[in-house]
Structure 1
């Protein structure tokens, strides 16, 4: 199995690759630079990956930022929106031709988008997605995760309508002990440092749901699901099934990233 890790930390990449190769016995693990805070970087990554001449059977949209003070990407997007949603939106669009070409009836390729239970308290402000009028780090993060669930569900509608051998599912990893908490309050950071090993999932445990969505035989040809707790199907927030809201967000994603993607009537 060939694994390509996309990331923006060139310094850590060699050590990560070494550990994966040692632990799995798979030497076919590689790194390609990708900065989701830059649409130009996303486009370059897609070109670089295509140049490898490899099939693409699974795309895991995993990267993200959480609870950051308001800042903007190099393209001028609020960072939660730009990194968590728009970067993945464009990346999936650019890699979809490879996913289509790599799938076949009875052996669909898979898109796994990492969501969060935080989406349940999210609200999508279509008049101010950038948080310029009023900004809350919590609201911006929840909104970005809500946007990802809406995206994942509408993407499956598009794939189904076209008869593509590709599925789209959302995976909720749970509360995981990672560096994402570096922007939380001092008390929460202290509690995580002292008790994170006991109260939070380890990164390995947090990856279980995504891995299940990526490889489970029972999900062959199955899309449009929201998965949690290692692969249990759950109901996402009801508004994520609102077709009108899905269309509006999709259209805005296309406008902001400068692409034309999909049937606007779906």
Structure 2
């Protein structure tokens, strides 16, 4: 891989990061309005044991929702459950193990959930890795592509019947894909989704986030065409002070602490838009949106390419052995 091919994605990603930080400097963080109680409703939050996912799970539980924290970190997940329950004993929250880097784990998680016979009203695809060294999953997929996108693609398809059955004409089930402004500099190469032609962690991360949004828009088109009582939206939480940034380029990592203190959102602030998208009456029946700081906004031009959306969908189904049906 040439030096330029390595440096260019790095520079593009850090430049978009600077743009986001300037926006956060000049704009107040979104504040959640008063939201209705969610008693009796069920949510799954992937990556809910720490950071943004934990705050999302905590806020949903505070509204009376039965929250399932799905994470590969069992000890952290159980500790997160305990902390949330200690805030209020009537909060219903539990942990179920899910490793998005393993297709077997994803299928087992979905099967175990379905066996319980409970409804599913909200699925928040939050778990992510960022800028990790090159690595292949047990199924042979590049780690960013699998954890951030393909694993959530499979999980969503496996749980879609549950969401469909739980939604109503006046109270839709909702899918929220937690994305990133990194998608604006993402290039999706269908012929090399696993980055075999030269690895850049920055390019791989940006590609996975663009794939999430292409998936969001394509799924909403299909749900609308089927008159399904389910919506799907993508949420950009902004730059949030979590350990997701631990693999930053060394100079940026050194600068992060003072910059984060001044300009990053807190996990609670970062979670607000996702919670809003998941339960606000303002978003009832509204899908196919990209939300940032509580507002609908435009995603990248590439993300609206319907031909690319369809081709990525079909490619993902082939990679996962889902066949021609869009319902697993």
Report TM bin, short chain.
over 0.9
The root-mean-square deviation of aligned C-alpha atoms, in Å, is 1.2
| Secondary structure of 1:107's aligned partner | coil
Q: Mapping of 1:210-229 within 5 angstroms?
A: 210-229=274-293
Q: Mapping of 1:5-154 within 5 angstroms?
A: 5-154=69-218
Contact kept? 1:112, 1:168, Cα under 8 Å: yes
Contact kept? 1:100, 1:164, Cα under 8 Å: yes
Matched positions, count: 262
Q: Mapping of 1:234-253 within 5 angstroms?
A: 234-253=297-316
Cα distance in 2 for partners of 1:205, 1:219 equals: 19
Equivalence for 1:170: 234
State the 1:130 CA deviation: 0.6
State the 1:87 CA deviation: 0.2
The one-character-per-residue Cα deviations of 1:43-63 (angstroms, maximum 9, x if unpaired) are 000011112221100000000
Equivalence for 2:296: 233
Q: Give 5+ residue unaligned stretches, structure 1.
A: none
State the 1:30 CA deviation: 0.4
Cα distance in 1 for partners of 2:207, 2:199 equals: 11
Stretches (4+) displaced over 6 A = none
Larger RCO (alpha carbons 8 Å, 6+ apart): 2
Contact kept? 1:158, 1:262, Cα under 8 Å: no
Moved more, 130-139 or 16-25: 16-25
Cα distance in 2 for partners of 1:13, 1:35 equals: 12
Residues 1:163 and 1:17: Cα distance change in structure 2 (over 3 Å): same
Residues 1:236 and 1:210: Cα distance change in structure 2 (over 3 Å): same
Residues 1:234 and 1:25: Cα distance change in structure 2 (over 3 Å): farther
Residues 1:244 and 1:74: Cα distance change in structure 2 (over 3 Å): same
The one-character-per-residue Cα deviations of 1:180-228 (angstroms, maximum 9, x if unpaired) are 1111122322222344222211111111111011011011001000000
Residues 1:36 and 1:103: Cα distance change in structure 2 (over 3 Å): same
Contact kept? 1:227, 1:234, Cα under 8 Å: yes
Cα distance in 2 for partners of 1:80, 1:36 equals: 10
Cα distance in 1 for partners of 2:287, 2:319 equals: 26
Q: Give 5+ residue unaligned stretches, structure 2.
A: 1-64
The one-character-per-residue Cα deviations of 1:118-158 (angstroms, maximum 9, x if unpaired) are 10110101111110011111110000000000000000000
Equivalence for 1:190: 254
Cα distance in 2 for partners of 1:185, 1:128 equals: 24
Cα distance in 1 for partners of 2:90, 2:83 equals: 10
